[in-house]
């Protein structure tokens, strides 16, 4: 990150942990059977956030919820605008028929990543229900997609960036506006 960039803390490490705890409590309340739940992370930080949510659910309930990965890159309708990155292998560890799927992403912005992820997920089968968890909702939606579970709403300018940082990957933890 360039030194001349200003960085604002949206959620400190402690606030992030409290937010994850609140979100997992909401999941436990909303999902009738955690045994039927599949957490599906969206690259890049959604994958790591899914692991954090999985550990917190295990801590709260004693139930090990399965996790998977869905890479929506080839399902995007805006690849020329967002560019490409190294593709992450999709890994769905169980048939999704009749499963409750919780898509997990770090930041929701236009809604296009989530739409693409749902299209990619549909190629694996027809789940009972698909829900969405986003750590940060920054607005600017282009599609009518809203998270079922949201850590924090942070109105931003289109040229600003929100980043979720996790100790397991970044050696620091928090949510930052850059």
Q: Which residues pair with 104 in a beta bridge?
A: 41, 133
Distance CA 170, CA 9 (A): 15
Is 138 in contact with 154 (CB distance < 8 Å)? Answer: yes
What residue segments make up the domains of the chain, in order of their start?
Answer: 14-156
| The model scores a pTM over 0.85 | yes
The encoded tokens of residue 79 equal 């690849």
Q: What is the pLDDT of residue 90?
A: 87
Q: What is the pLDDT of residue 75?
A: 86
Torsion sign (Cα): 47, 49, 55, 59: negative
Q: Which residues pair with 91 in a beta bridge?
A: 69
pLDDT at 51 over 90: yes
Q: What is the pLDDT of residue 87?
A: 72
Confidence of residue 79 (pLDDT cuts 50, 70, 90): low
pLDDT at 86 over 70: no
Confidence of residue 161 (pLDDT cuts 50, 70, 90): very high
Q: What is the mean pLDDT of residues 92-119?
A: 96
Q: What is the mean pLDDT of residues 17-37?
A: 97
Q: What percent of the chain has pLDDT over 70?
A: 92
Alpha carbon separation from 117 to 46, 72, 157, 168, 170 (Å, rounded): 12, 5, 24, 24, 24
* Tens-digit pLDDT profile for residues 123-147: 999 999 999 999 999 999 999 999 9
DSSP string, 90-114: PB--S--TT-EEEEEEEEESSSHHH
Q: What is the pLDDT of residue 1?
A: 45
SS3 state at 129: strand
Q: What is the mean pLDDT of the chain?
A: 92
Confidence of residue 6 (pLDDT cuts 50, 70, 90): confident
CATH topology of domain 14-156: Rossmann fold (3.40.50)
Buried b (16+ CB within 10 A) or exposed e, 5-28: eeeeebbeeebbeebbeebbeebe
φ and ψ of 55, to 5 deg:
-65, -40
């Amino acid at each position: 990150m360039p030194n001349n960039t200003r960085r604002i803390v949206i959620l400190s490490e402690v606030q992030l942990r409290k937010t994850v705890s609140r979100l997992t409590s909401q999941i436990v309340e909303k999902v009738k059977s955690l045994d039927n739940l599949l957490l599906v992370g969206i690259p890049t930080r959604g994958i790591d956030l899914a692991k954090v949510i999985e550990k917190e659910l295990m801590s709260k309930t004693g139930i090990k919820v399965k996790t998977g990965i869905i890479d929506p890159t080839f399902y995007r309708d805006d690849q020329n605008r967002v560019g490409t990155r190294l593709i992450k292998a999709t890994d769905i560890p169980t048939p999704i028929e009749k499963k409750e799927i919780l898509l997990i992403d770090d930041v929701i912005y236009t809604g296009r990543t989530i739409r693409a992820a749902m299209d990619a997920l549909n190629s694996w089968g027809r789940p009972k229900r698909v829900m969405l968890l986003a750590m940060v909702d920054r607005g600017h939606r282009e599609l009518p997609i809203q998270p079922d579970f949201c850590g924090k709403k942070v109105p931003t300018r289109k040229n600003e960036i929100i980043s979720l940082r996790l100790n397991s990957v970044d050696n620091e933890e928090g949510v930052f506006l850059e």
